Structure 1
Amino acid sequence: MAYVDELALHAIYHYKLAQAVPLSGSTTFAEIAQASHLREDLVERFIRQAMCSHIFTEDAPGQVRHTSASRLLATNPDAHDAVGMITCDLSPAGMQTLSALEKYPNSEEKSETGWAQHTEPGISPFEFMAKNPERGRRFGAGMRYFSSGQHWDLGHLARGYTWAALDRPGAVFVDVGGGHGTVSQYLARETKHVEFVIQDLPGTVEAGRKILPEDLRSRVRFMEHDFFTEQPVRGADVYFFRWILHNWSDGYCKKILRALIPALKKGARVLVYEYVLVDGPETRVSRKQPRNLDLMMLAQFNSCERTAKMWEELLRSADQRLRLLRCEIPEGSLYGIIEAVWDGDD
């Protein structure tokens, strides 16, 4: 009966019920109702349903106080937005996914998904969020919350790859679709010589340049680039993708990878930092997130998370000269490092 738990969470988000409970001490259902403008009987029903999941508790009958979970919703805006993202965006999109699959069988288009059915048919999630900036802001905050914590720490990437072998004068690392440069800035502080080129669309690049720390500007730069077009940085040592390819179905991923080929020198690395699914059932709750994201990618983008075998097949189908070297998950990380080498000529 998980849908009733979700209904209670939606009410907590929409009526800001967690914010109506004091951080110390307790309050009554009537006082919460007055603060949230929701009928007292409904406040009681929603909150007591949430209590079944240890969200809120009662000191005595009718005396509501916080648990660690409800306090988090009251004090962490990103956690609050994450609940909104799930209950207002992702869950309704999931409920529309089978309808989209019936309507658009075998589609690889982002505009023909459960998300599009729920929001605005015919446009992609990116286009929808551009038209609805508050929804986009909430989605970004929710994703920021879910990507925080030790499992997402970039230290896993720093320790999981032999950056010392790359760290020499003249080495170039191209961060494709790198946003504001979070990864490149982190790795720049872990290395001494590597030059970093962060590529993204114009608005993102402009924002990234403004916030780039002064002490990194000698080795880190931004460049406007659409990754579906030919890669302009030729002869780099590494072309890096984080959280890019899982947003795209195989057909589009092949286009992205093939756009690199004119720029690749023999021995160049294509490095991908994304989830690697277990090729079989995963029963550990701590390792369930990649499977959760897999169906989220289906509902939003008509895309997927991939197993090691799927990564190998994707690389090979993009070009036989892209050879998978390894596909490993560093200890303590949720993400895998997928490393391919270009065996073609310069």
Structure 2
Amino acid sequence: MNSQGASVLSLAEDIFEQAKAIINYYQANNLAIPTFSLQSSDPPTTPEYQSLQNALRTSIEDTQRLVEGPRKFLRSFAAQVYDLASFRIALDFELFTIIPAEGEISLKELADRAGLDLDRVSRVVRMLITFRFFEEKTPGFISHSSSSIVLLKDEELRCTVHYTLDELLKAAADSNISLKSTPFEADNQNCPFKTRHGLGIFEWYNANPYNASRFARAMAGATRSKLFYGLIFKVLSYVAQWIVTSTNYVGGGSGHISMTLAKLFPHLKFVVQDQDEMLIEGQKLISDEVRDRVFFQRHTFFDQQPFKDAAAFLIRQCTHNWCDRDVVTIFKSMVPGLESSKPGTPFLINDIIMPEPGIWTRLAEREVRQIDIVMLVGFRAKQRTRAEFLALLTEADPRYEIRNVYETGPLGLLEVYLRQ
């Protein structure tokens, strides 16, 4: 057997052993083994399971690449734009919500309710069926699959996918135009999003309240998807155990993280700071259970921090939206709040901490580098390494120091203090 054949065989053996390890994990934790049934639950989000999952996915991907060869891979890779077009049509015409959770709907009725002709709906749906979105068990009748029903039941996740294929996919298509026009600028006024939409991303959302509302729900959905949900609460719950009074959440979006932590830790109070559009969404989401412990305050983190006597200041997934000079301004604005609080008050920066190349597994590194390109497309900003964070903190105020770094894959935490 030639070397390529041996490599495929060894990878296939790896796949077999890794699949067994995943089954063993499910059995050891008394979990139902996943199937394509509509009742199948989401996979675990623990680091142990994610490590097993990444190992299996890597072997499957390598095997597929060797078997296919580069030419077929490149063709299918480039053709994903048409797959995404089908998905975008299904979202825009609400096919995921028109198809009932149980039972079937005829293609004719689906087309009528979507406001499209039968031919186009049939072509889009049958394209998506090849990816296990929807099923056609009875000819001419469509039902949900285990993949598509998630988008029916989870509005936030649906918003995450929809805004990505709406706002950002359009902007990504103009990335080359943006970079050619301003190759050495790096801010949200010189980015693919503005090239495509005519406004920077924040101004555009201010001018488009429907999209701003969807974006706020999408951020909640993105947080709960994949690794984010399990890891962020592991990190923040750890931190919350030694925060004893109130936490100021800067750039807090709709406040969904504060609301969840408030439920987990009844002794904590949160002040969520952001712009009006995000706070309006927060007012819709808040429950009576935490209403007296989660408060909203209109504030931009480019202005001096007005909140005093906080037990901690938290800024989560914000720095990656801004260029270096803007991040320095954000860090400078936090100084008055830290100076007005007790010595030893932490400034917590919850964001991806980029690894050096090759330190993480290939798939884990790919996930964060995909997000880094999202920042390039949407903001002409970036994800940063620990060294890059430290340089910006020092430029903002030499008294800043990083005491601890919690690197947890796609979402980490910098524990920063202002030396008194």
TM-score (norm 2): 0.69
Contact 2:344 2:418 in 1 (8 A): yes
Counterpart of 1:258?
332
Equivalent residue for 2:356, pick from 260, 266, 279: 279
Counterpart of 1:16?
94
Contact 1:152 1:335 in 2 (8 A): no
2:373 counterpart of 1:295: yes
Summarize deviations over 1:253-288 as a string: whole Å, max 9, x none: 100111222443453321111122232255565675
Q: Distance in 2 between matches of 1:95 and 1:172?
A: 43
Instruction: Say if 1:21 and 1:183 are closer, same or farther in 2 by CA, change over 3 A.
Output: closer
Instruction: Say if 1:214 and 1:226 are closer, same or farther in 2 by CA, change over 3 A.
Output: same
Instruction: Say if 1:22 and 1:239 are closer, same or farther in 2 by CA, change over 3 A.
Output: closer
2:318 counterpart of 1:241: no
Structure 1 position 241, deviation (Å) = 0.6
Q: Distance in 2 between matches of 1:166 and 1:304?
A: 30
Equivalent residue for 1:146, pick from 196, 210, 222: 222
Percent identity among equivalent residues?
24
Contact 2:322 2:381 in 1 (8 A): yes
Contact 1:100 1:117 in 2 (8 A): yes
Counterpart of 2:194?
116
SS of residue paired to 1:85 = helix
Q: Distance in 1 between matches of 2:242 and 2:308?
A: 20
Q: Distance in 1 between matches of 2:368 and 2:306?
A: 32
Instruction: Say if 1:75 and 1:223 are closer, same or farther in 2 by CA, change over 3 A.
Output: closer
Alignment of 1:315-334 (within 5 A): 315-330=393-408, 334=410
Instruction: Say if 1:146 and 1:260 are closer, same or farther in 2 by CA, change over 3 A.
Output: closer
Contact 2:216 2:278 in 1 (8 A): no
Runs of 5+ unmatched residues, structure 1 = none
Equivalent residue for 1:91, pick from 158, 169, 175: 169
Runs of 5+ unmatched residues, structure 2 = 1-78
Structure 1 position 81, deviation (Å) = 3.0
Tell me the amino acid that sits aligned with residue 253 of structure 1: V
Q: Distance in 2 between matches of 1:210 and 1:145?
A: 15
Contact 1:158 1:190 in 2 (8 A): no
Counterpart of 2:125?
47
Alignment of 1:25-174 (within 5 A): 25-120=103-198, 123-149=199-225, 151-153=228-230, 155-161=233-239, 163-167=240-244, 173-174=247-248
Summarize deviations over 1:200-246 as a string: whole Å, max 9, x none: 34676688679866776776654443321222335644221112212
TM-score (norm 1): 0.82
Summarize deviations over 1:94-137 as a string: whole Å, max 9, x none: 111221121122323312211111112xx321211121112222
SS of residue paired to 1:276 = coil
Higher share of residues assigned helix: 2
Which stretch has the larger CA shift, 21-30 or 225-234? Answer: 21-30
Contact 1:274 1:335 in 2 (8 A): yes
Across the two proteins, how many residue pairs are aligned to each other? 336
Q: Distance in 2 between matches of 1:60 and 1:215?
A: 46
Q: Distance in 2 between matches of 1:157 and 1:200?
A: 22
Summarize deviations over 1:1-43 as a string: whole Å, max 9, x none: 2111101101211223334434334444344333333233322
Counterpart of 1:309?
387
Which stretch has the larger CA shift, 305-314 or 195-204? Answer: 195-204
Q: Distance in 2 between matches of 1:205 and 1:60?
A: 46
Equivalent residue for 1:232, pick from 283, 306, 309: 306
Q: Distance in 2 between matches of 1:256 and 1:115?
A: 22
Q: Distance in 2 between matches of 1:78 and 1:243?
A: 17
Which stretch has the larger CA shift, 252-261 or 52-61? Answer: 52-61
SS of residue paired to 1:135 = helix
